[in-house]
Structure formats: C-alpha cells, structure tokens
Amino acid sequence: MKTFKEKLKSSGPKRILALDGGGIRGALSLGYLKHLEDLLRKQHKNNELLLSDYFDLIGGTSTGSIIASALAIGMSVDEIKQKYFELGTKIFGRKYKWYRIFEIDDLMKARYDHKALDEELQGVFGDLTLGDSHALKTGLCIVAKRADTNSVWPLLNHPDGKYFDSEHGKNGSIPIWKAVRASAAAPTYFLPQSIDVGGDMGQAAFVDGGVSMANNPALKLLMVATLSGFPFKWEMGEDKILLASVGTGMTKWKRLPKKIQKNHLLNWAAELPEMLMQDASWQNQKVLQWLSNSPTAQHIDGESGDLDGDLLGFGKGKREPLLHYLRYNVTLDVDEMNKRFKPSKPYTQKDIDSLAAMDNAKNCQALYDLGLAAGAQELDQKHFPESFKIT
C-alpha cells in the first residue's frame, strides 16, 4: 500500500473519514468502523487492508481524534478496540478525591484526573509527532479548540501546512498524544492542555474541539481538504471526493413545553452544551447533504426534508453534487431503538440515559455492539463506488 508521502503525490479520487466527539461513546463509532473495515476488505479482496490504506485523510474531534490518530498510525479496528476499552476504564475511573487537598485547585476545575488520560495516550502514541511521516500512514487532522483565542485549530500532519514548520508555527513537532489530549480536554471533565506550538505563537491553551461547530468534524475536514488556504487543495466533485462521517450516537430531544417553562438557571446551564452540539451537528449534516446526492441522506426538518433535489454546487451549466457524502449514526431513543433493533430485552429510558452518558466506561461493550449492529443495517457496498476503490 502507498505511504503517506506517496499519497500526497498521487492523483485520482480522494477519500476522507471524519469521526465525531462524544466521550466514551466513541466505542459506538468503533462498532461502525469494524463493519466498514470488513466491508472494504471484502471489496478489495484483501483481509489485511487497513482504514489507513483506504482513506487519504482521517480526522476527528475529542474521542474521535483518539480513534483517528490510532487509525492513522496503521492500527486495525480490533487493535484500537482493545486499547480503547482499556483507556476508557482507566481515564474515566480516576476521579479527583475530595481528600486530595494538595490538588484542590485541579479538583475545583475538572471531574477527572488528567494524569490517567496523559499516561494512556502516551502508552499508545509514545514519542510520535505530527511530523513523523514514517509512522503516519495517511493524512491526519486532529480538531482542537484554542481557548485563549477562541479559534478552532485543525492540527495537520501535511508538510506543506502553513503552521507545520515555519516562522508561524511548528505543529509538525507536536507529539501526537499531546495534540489528541488537547482535542479531548472537555471542560469540566479534564483540565485544558497547554502546548508550545512554536514560531511566533508560543504557548497555547487548548480545550476539547467539541466546544465548537466541529464536534461533528465532517464539514471542517472537507474545508481542510479543499480550501486554498490549506495544503491539500483537492478538487471537488462527486467522483473526486468521498467523505464518510461516523457519529457517536445522538439523543432525541423531547421536552414538554410546561417542563421547559419551569427550567431554572441550573437546568439551562446543564442543557445548553448538548443543545448547541446537536444544532452544530445538524447544521453540518444539512450543508453536506446540500452539497451532495447522499445515499444516506437523513430527514432534517419539516421544511427542508432530506434536501432531495437541492444542490448547492454548480458546474457545466447545471446543478451538480460536489462530493460523495455518507453519514452513519444511531439515535439514542427508546422507541426508535426498540423498533429498529428488536432486542430480546427491550430498552428502557434508564438504559438510554446510561448509554448516552459520555463518561460511563462500563458501557464500552454495549456501545460497540450497538455500533456493530447499526453498521450491519446501514453500511452498504454500493455506498463505496468502484471509482473510489484503491489499486
């Protein structure tokens, strides 16, 4: 298979994989990815094929950045699953203790001890940096949020990036584990991550990339791949770019008007992050369906529908799709999941609330199995046209 440097020089269609944030619910994404890996291996008649062989750019936010980076260094989904389950149990199992008075400042700022996360990420990625072209098998984009400037940072391994190795920045020297730690520094869960980004930037303070419009990073990755300010500069077209986006499950918002009217300040403070993250994800979905004739198009709302027949792109005197877009995700809702999966023991609201929690590591296997079952229903060989098959 091609090395990353060979991929950068090659022409032909390009393939992008985008992975959502969502805490421990990344295990659900892994279930989808296992099915995707098996599907592509069957298509290519190669039982050793890795997702890093197929995709030219893999990126993610928060927990998605952990999985994306592991894929980019050539790990199989089975290998990542084992590491991820271990990681989840350790990082969400070490809370700050009230009696650790010497860490009282950290205790007041975060729920979990970041040292466990640091240790586990270093165990997976070691001393590898974003500039290590031998270890990274494909393009990598780690989406983080720079809190001191309130800007979304796509940390790239492309050697021609403006901030890769120049007077402006030295992103290529950033350890992968530290970039991932920055992307996964969810406020209230973990402390922010400080990184020396080099050049005239100096020290930067990062928080979870999900505190932005890019918790679902699919649209951001398309921009990184095609906008002239970024180094890839890939040409858009339905037969030129395939973008596959994988979620971590989305809760269904159902609130009675009377209950909303009774909300007090603490209710709103707790609910606003989830409300904004869902809005951002749906906006991503809407725009990407607007740009494509997606075979996985979802119903957006009562007025937009699934945007069938709506195309933003224009070329050759007519409206044309600008990419081949795929989206896979599960709605975490009692009625929908019981109807869809028909479990022997029906889901209860308590089950759904537990699965929706972003820090319940006990759910790793259940979330993975859910993603695997959903992947079996949703993924289709036809979603990955022969024109995007690698040679």
- CA 188 to chain CA centroid, nearest Å: 20
Helix (H) or strand (E) holding 283: helix 265-290
- Is 65 a residue of the active site? no
- Is 118 a residue of the active site? no
How many whole angstroms separate alpha carbon 18 and alpha carbon 372? 18
Number of residues in the chain = 391
Active-site hit among 52, 62, 183, 294: 62
How many whole angstroms separate alpha carbon 338 and alpha carbon 42? 30
Active-site hit among 53, 208, 333, 351: 208
Measured CA to CA in angstroms, residue 162 lies from 47, 199, 255 at distances of 38, 11, 46
How many whole angstroms separate alpha carbon 61 and alpha carbon 220? 10
Q: Contact, 311 vs 334, CB < 8 A?
A: no
Helix (H) or strand (E) holding 174: none
Measured CA to CA in angstroms, residue 262 lies from 273, 274, 352 at distances of 19, 19, 24
Q: Write the Ramachandran bin of 23: left for phi over 0, alpha for psi from -120 to 50, otherwise beta.
A: left
Task: Please give the structure tokens belonging to residue 140.
Answer: 């990598």
Task: Please give the structure tokens belonging to residue 92.
Answer: 């969400």
Pair type for strands 203-208 and 139-146: antiparallel
Q: Contact, 327 vs 288, CB < 8 A?
A: yes
Task: Cite the beta strand spans of the chain per DSSP E.
Answer: 14-19, 57-61, 139-146, 151-156, 193-196, 203-208, 241-246, 250-251, 314-315, 318-319, 324-328, 331-332
Sign of the Cα torsion 328, 31, 236, 141 reads: positive
* Residues noted as catalytic: 62, 208
